[in-house]
Chains A and B, each alone.
Chain A
Amino acid sequence: MKKLAFIGFVVFCLFLFYAAYDIRDFGAPPSSMDDRIIGSYNSTTGEWEYGAVNETGANNAVTSVVFDYRGYDTLGEATVLFTAIAGVMLLFGGRKHE
């Protein structure tokens, strides 16, 4: 069993290394897929033409997805946190009056 796990681990590592060869180089220019998401910058007019930076004005495209495009998801996540705190307060909040 241990041998099998080790072989599986080695195969998985080789797979990861193989996948890492396909990553584009550090500092390489954005691909066309990045253009669709982040937007393309027109250097003659000095403006973004489409994409997340043009629509939300935020440099961090992940934040613009989390808080703008998928804002409902973040609202639900905040509700989960609120529910957790309400549960803790309900369980332990009245301990002073016992």
Chain B
Amino acid sequence: MSDEKMSVIVQTIAGMLFPMVLIFSFYVILHGHLTPGGGFQGGAIGASAVALLIVAYGSKTIEKKMAEENLSIFESLGGLVFVIVAIAGFILASAFLSNFLVGEPLFGQIPGWGESPLNSGGFLPILNIAVGMKVIGGLSAIVLMLALVSREVKEQ
């Protein structure tokens, strides 16, 4: 199916929207311990940006830019970071997934009344980033894979 792409207007608007949606997704992930949201929600927003590109440009063009194997590796990397941080809590502190960074000067600053510093929360931002990587990579890989397969089914 060669006419899978949409018109130039849609492609241009999607290309302009893609970085903004991605930046909003990173904002939701990085501020997960301060504002509503977190890794899962921000990751779903980022995956929706990739889905927008797939709808506008067609799955074949997107597959050349980002292979689903790389997305899958990205997703597994997020899971690996999550488990490594959890085991580090087991080694450095009392238990598996215990917050070993809270109280430390760099990340564990406890905010006062009405303050919201970015480097608070102990290991919560790290876990948010790990889960965000997981969800962005995973949902993008699923959407891209299903789009490619449905395209191949239509061709036959």
Contact = CB atoms under 8 A, between A and B. Distances in A.
Q: Helix, strand, loop or mixed for chain B's interface?
A: helix
Contact of B131 (A62, A74, A92): A74
B110 to A, nearest CB: 4
A72 interface: yes
B15 interface: no
A64 B124 contact: yes
Interface string B17-48: 00000000000000011111010100000000
A84 B35 CA distance: 29
Chain A interface bracket (under 10, 10 to 19, 20 to 34, 35 or more): 20 to 34
A60 B131 CA distance: 17
A92 B147 CA distance: 11
Interface in B34-86: 34-36, 38, 40, 68, 72, 75-76, 78-79, 82-83, 86
11 contacts: A47-B110, A55-B102, A57-B102, A57-B122, A58-B124, A68-B99, A71-B127, A75-B82, A81-B75, A92-B146, A95-B152
Interface of A: 41, 43, 46-48, 53-60, 62-64, 66-68, 71-72, 74-75, 77-78, 81-82, 84-85, 88-89, 92-93, 95
